[in-house]
Amino acid sequence: MDSTLKERAQKIKLMIFDVDGVMTDGSLFIGDDGQEYKMFNTQDGLGMRLLKKSGVKLAIITGRNSNSVLIRAENLEVDYFYQGISDKKEAFADLIKKTGFRSEECAFMGDDIVDLPPMLQSGLAISVPAGHDEVKKIAHFVTEKIAGYGAVREACDFIMKAQGTYDEIVAPYFK
């Protein structure tokens, strides 16, 4: 782990996720009835729960409105939830105000240019392999796993390992 990257990750108190293309593979399934469906990865979900257990707060900022994302956020006990957001920079500023955290204490995981404003302000910007080129260019860390298939878990584990909480958090599962 690069020392500069580790230093960034050690400061994180709030992890913010985009949804489509980060927590999902970016596919949108729309039924004949107009209902939208998304597929989430259970390992990603456990990674988020473990990260929260380590003391890092969780947030979601997504541009789309989706009942399935609301349900997922509630199931994972996400601390701050924003959906239908056209200006993610504004939502990021609201999170800073609500939490009292400094921007360098926040990580943002995104995949497309609408995620650039909060990523540029965050202390740790994370993207995925299929992220837009401009996003990957500014990301401090690009996961090896793809979106919707373990990328979120990889990011969560990365932060816990950098903060030295990973071993303690996962130890109960090895008994």
* 18 in a known ligand binding site: yes
Q: Put residue 57 in one of left, alpha, beta given phi > 0 → left and psi -120 to 50 → alpha.
A: beta
Residue 31 carries which DSSP code? Answer: -
Is 133 annotated for ligand binding?
no
88 is in an annotated binding site: yes
Q: What is the CA radius of gyration of the chain?
A: 15
DSSP H/E element including 120? helix 116-121
Residue 36 CB contacts under 8 Å (≥ 6 apart), including other chains: 28, 29, 30, 64, 66, 68
Question: Would the annotation count 111 as a binding residue?
Answer: yes
Q: Is 49 annotated as a binding residue?
A: yes
Question: Is 8 annotated among the ligand-binding residues?
Answer: no
Query: 64 a known binding residue?
Result: yes
For 38-59, the DSSP string reads: ----HHHHHHHHHHHHTT-EEE
Q: Which residues are annotated as a binding site for substrate?
A: 20, 49, 64, 72, 88
Q: Which residues are annotated as a binding site?
A: 18, 20, 49, 64, 72, 88, 111
Q: Which residues are annotated as a binding site for Mg(2+)?
A: 18, 111
